[in-house]
Chains A and B, each alone.
Chain A
């Protein structure tokens, strides 16, 4: 230690903050590429959809749709049927609750196992190997749609309520585990590591620091999962899981339009109530948490759900949360009893034997009739369905979501300029538009895509178009809500500043509000596109087109080797889409930085004596 301290040395910080200048040419190149790629994808999809010989629209079926619409105002409301609807509603709610609770349990355990934060240091090699394997299993489990899980499980367990529960728990649990692992890793501050260094044993440190730190986000996501679980339970009605979904399919296929409307009404009310409840709890969780928009969550709606729960200035209360827990836990026991599920089927020797046969079949995949070209065309159809469905969804979102977003304080204008009554009169049309657009969006997402597909097949010949329309309507309901919530949180202060500076309000909006809104829309569209690719299985099973159709036909004919091929293909497609979308999103967010290494989560933080 004898060297001169002020010996000339190149300051290491000098090079660090230099930003690369962005040229106009680079901007134009990027925009050009985006437009070209988008156009090419849409043209290809449209070519797959409308290029088929024999036309698209089934003119004979339009009359059915006409019939259905004509009965909209005369739903069946006699006591006998209402009782049936009430029981079906209870069944749907029970399955959804049990499914969500199971997913939560799997998610908590899996999330702790997968998160780096739960380990105070790099885990030993065997643990890491097991974790890598577990991660792979979870990715595979969530890439298979609930409906396909249900169809596979029916082959093993028969028509058992447990099928529905497992079909929900397996993919949702896998997804939840992944999100929870990221949530645990995203817990701010070094409390957990500090406790571990201070001598706390592993479990105690997790319970004292990690779980409380993550709890608002965990809770928020759990309730979001409950909403998803409700939608999926309705969808599983297609394979005979009782409840509103099954009744809806039965009534639709026997053309009892009056019953269809009653059931749709019940579905709307149930979804609205569950979503409102969930929104309350999530808002409380948001005000409790540190109120950052979370981008850690692996799936789109998770992000939306968590960001939507962002804190406002209201003091944090936990009334809804507390009551939800108090009522929820005994409620779960009742729900389990009501579903009639029991775990006995799992230990049955027949189950074991059938599982072995199924796995053996799945392990030797075979090409469908017609060979590789059929498979390739199915992959193309799947992508075409997803692309066109997103086009439909974005179109509907752009039309509906601006009305569904709550007007912010500044948009309502200063209060003192006009009288209260005039305010109300002026706000009434806006409020009405909001109610209508929100109800439409609720309806679009509450009716499962299978039902939309059945309806679309009245009007279109089987193929890409009905699948795209059905999925597009359903996706619009979800995308519209997410985007509307995101738009509510767009910062309007820059616009107001421009208006005060003399810019015309619409121009100020164009300049200051539209760009961030478009970015939100693009981000959510990319996320939703990933989900949509997975959802194509659903409309395929009903008979639209694509890999889902191969799956459905293979499952119906018990040709599991073909099913295995279709599953592998859809897995490959969803992974490819996910990777592409991640790249695009990273490009959109403007910085193509490499992602942080998993074990140095916050490089800046480590220098601040905390890790």
Chain B
């Protein structure tokens, strides 16, 4: 294989970055065991940008998303959310910032034993007081807000079903409904389309985009083809480094072949 140089032309997203960026990584390295999951990565994502994250398995996509959501801290370098360095913030302020970011993980992070409505309502725990939260948990009462988001993910019938009885795709939509209730400004999603057929995958991607109030999304994808439609920017990771950073229009099959080529 010929040496693949990082194709970073700068037009990927800088035009939109006049105001404070939503996400920013500065020279971030994450060490997992003996290898570097991320290696000196710089990345800036501005408001409204829709970034598709591509790359072979183990390239560092999930680690990058975990950093942006505040779930992981970097070993070196800085992670900035809305212009503030997470490592320098007090615990409370840090949570205020991470609460403005919604995250859909591969595990979905749902509570399996409770009814769907509680999992959905959990999305707005940051907005309501402890008293109402407890009362809703005990009385299993669903209000219009919960019904509305469940309708949006096309699961109105599942309101009182136990989460563990749903199929994988249904559980994913429950997680999306929870995300909708969080009213996050930006949304991160880790391979949300990997187990879905193309049409459903596009629906989920649209929902995710709609769930971020500023429209900012960073989504890792298994299928590069989907990146060409819904996104404004494609970032390719390879061995923990940014290998591609382009508008989707400039994404060629050759570039993809190099990105996914075996070492």
Quick one: closest B residue to A12, CB to CB?
B35
The smallest C-beta distance from A266 to any residue of chain B, in angstroms, reads 38
Determine if B18 is an interface residue (Cβ-Cβ < 8 Å).
no
* B248 interfacial by beta-carbon distance below 8 Å: no
B161 proximal to A (CB < 8 A): no
Q: Are B126 and A2 in contact (CB under 8 A)?
A: no
Q: Which A-chain residue is minimally distant from B63 (CB atoms)?
A: A607
Check B125–A288 contact: CB distance below 8 A. no
Chief secondary structure at chain A's binding surface: loop
A-B contact pairs, 8 of them (CB 8 A): A1-B241, A4-B5, A189-B108, A191-B110, A197-B69, A197-B70, A205-B125, A609-B103
Residue of A nearest to B66 (CB): A609
Q: Chain A residues near B113 (CB, 8 Å)?
A: 212-213, 215-216, 288-289
Interchain CA distance A121-B86 in the complex, whole Å: 14
Q: Which partner residue on chain A sits nearest B123 by CB separation?
A: A198
Q: Chain A residues near B127 (CB, 8 Å)?
A: 199
Q: How far is the CA of A6 from the CA of B3 in the complex (A)?
A: 6
Q: Are A195 and B125 in contact (CB under 8 A)?
A: yes
**9 nearest A-B residue pairs (beta carbon):** A199-B126, A199-B99, A12-B35, A200-B125, A194-B109, A609-B62, A609-B66, A197-B98, A611-B71
- In the complex, what's the smallest C-beta–C-beta distance from A185 to chain B, in angstroms? 16
> Measured between C-beta atoms, what is the minimum distance from B7 to chain A in Å?
11
With A and B bound together, what is the CA distance between A3 and B243 in angstroms? 10
Given contacts A6-B4, A610-B71, A611-B66, contact A198 B102 (CB under 8 A): yes
Measuring CB to CB, which residues of chain A are less than 8 angstroms from any residue of chain B?
1-6, 9, 11-13, 15-16, 121, 189-191, 193-201, 203-205, 207-209, 212-213, 215-216, 288-290, 603, 605-611
- The answer to whether A212 touches B98 (Cβ under 8 A) is no
Which B residues touch A212, using CB under 8 A?
Answer: 111, 113-114, 118
Interface set, chain B 2-44, CB cutoff 8 A to A: 3-6, 8, 32-35, 37, 40, 42
Contact A6 B1 (CB under 8 A): yes
Chain A nearest CB from B248 CB (Å) reads 20
**B137: which A residues are within 8 A, CB to CB?**
207-208
A4-B109 CB under 8 A given contacts A198-B126, A606-B66, A611-B72: no
Instruction: Decide: A607 and B96 in contact? CB cutoff 8 A.
Output: no
Nearest chain B residue, comparing its CB with the CB of A15 = B34
Contact between B35 and A197 (Cβ–Cβ < 8 Å)?
A: no
What would 18 more interface pairs be, CB under 8 Å, given A2-B5, A12-B34, A194-B109? A5-B5, A5-B6, A11-B263, A189-B111, A195-B125, A197-B95, A198-B123, A198-B125, A199-B127, A199-B182, A201-B126, A204-B133, A207-B137, A208-B133, A212-B114, A606-B72, A608-B190, A610-B109
Q: Is B242 an interface residue (CB 8 A)?
A: yes
Among B5, B109, B114, B123, chain A packs the most CB atoms within 10 A around the CB of B109
At the interface, yes or no: B122 with Cβ under 8 Å from chain A? Answer: yes
Tell me the minimal C-beta distance from A558 to chain B in angstroms. Answer: 50
CB-CB contacts below 8 Å: B212-263 with A = 238-239, 241-243, 263
Are B107 and A610 neighbours in the complex by a CB distance under 8 Å? yes
- Interface hits, B68-85 → A, CB 8 Å: 69-72
Contact with A along B103-142 (1 / 0, CB 8 A): 1011111111110001001110111001001100100000
A207 and B134 contacting across the interface, CB-CB below 8 Å = yes
Q: Which of A6, A193, A199, A203 contacts B130 (CB 8 A)?
A: A203
For residue A201, which residues in chain B have a CB less than 8 angstroms away from its CB?
Answer: 125-126, 130
B24 to chain A, nearest CB (A): 15
Q: Are A5 and B125 in contact (CB under 8 A)?
A: no
Are A199 and B98 CB-contacts (below 8 A) given A5-B6, A208-B125, A611-B66? yes
Q: Assess whether B65 is interfacial by the CB under 8 Å rule.
A: yes
Task: Kindly state the separation between the CA atoms of A208 and B109 in the bound complex, as whole angstroms.
Answer: 12
Are B182 and A198 interface neighbours, CB within 8 A? yes
Neighbouring A residues of B3 by C-beta, 8 Å: 4-6
Known interface pairs A1-B42, A1-B241, A208-B137; A608-B62 also in contact (CB < 8 Å):
yes
Q: Point out which of A4, A6, A199 has the most chain B C-beta atoms below 10 A from its C-beta.
A: A199
Residue among A2, A190, A196 making CB contact with B105, cutoff 8 Å = A190
Nearest B residue to A197, CB-CB:
B98
The 0/1 profile, CB within 8 Å of A marked 1, for residues 187-229 of chain B is: 0001000000000000000000000000000000000000000
Looking at the complex, which one of A195, A198, A200, A607 makes contact with B32 (CB distance below 8 Å)? A607
Contact A189 B4 (CB under 8 A): no
The smallest beta-carbon distance between A391 and chain B, in angstroms, is 42
Query: Chain A residues with Cβ under 8 A from B35's Cβ?
Result: 12-13
B125 in contact with A609 (CB, 8 Å): no
Q: How far is the CB of B253 from chain A (nearest CB, A)?
A: 18
Checking A11, A12, A197 against B103 with a beta-carbon cut-off of 8 angstroms, the contacting residue is: A197
Complex Cα spacing A197 to B133, Å: 17
Known: A199-B125, A208-B118, A212-B111. A609 touches B99 (CB 8 A): no
A5-B4, A5-B6 known; A290 vs B112 contact (CB < 8 Å): yes
CB distance from B188 to the nearest CB of A (A): 8
B109:A191 contact, CB within 8 angstroms: yes
Return A261 CB to nearest CB of chain B, in Å.
46
Residue of A nearest to B182 (CB): A198
Q: Which residue of B lies closest to A200 (CB)?
A: B125
Smallest distance from the beta carbon of B1 to chain A beta carbons, Å? 6
**Of B66, B95, B112, B133, the contact of A199 (CB 8 Å cutoff):** B95
Min CB gap A195→B, angstroms:
6
* Residue from the list B65, B101, B263 in contact with A6, Cβ < 8 A: B263
Query: Measured between C-beta atoms, what is the minimum distance from A283 to chain B in Å?
Result: 16
Measured between alpha carbons, how far is A13 from B57 in the docked complex, in Å? 13
Q: How near does chain B come to A309, taking the closest CB pair, in angstroms? A: 14
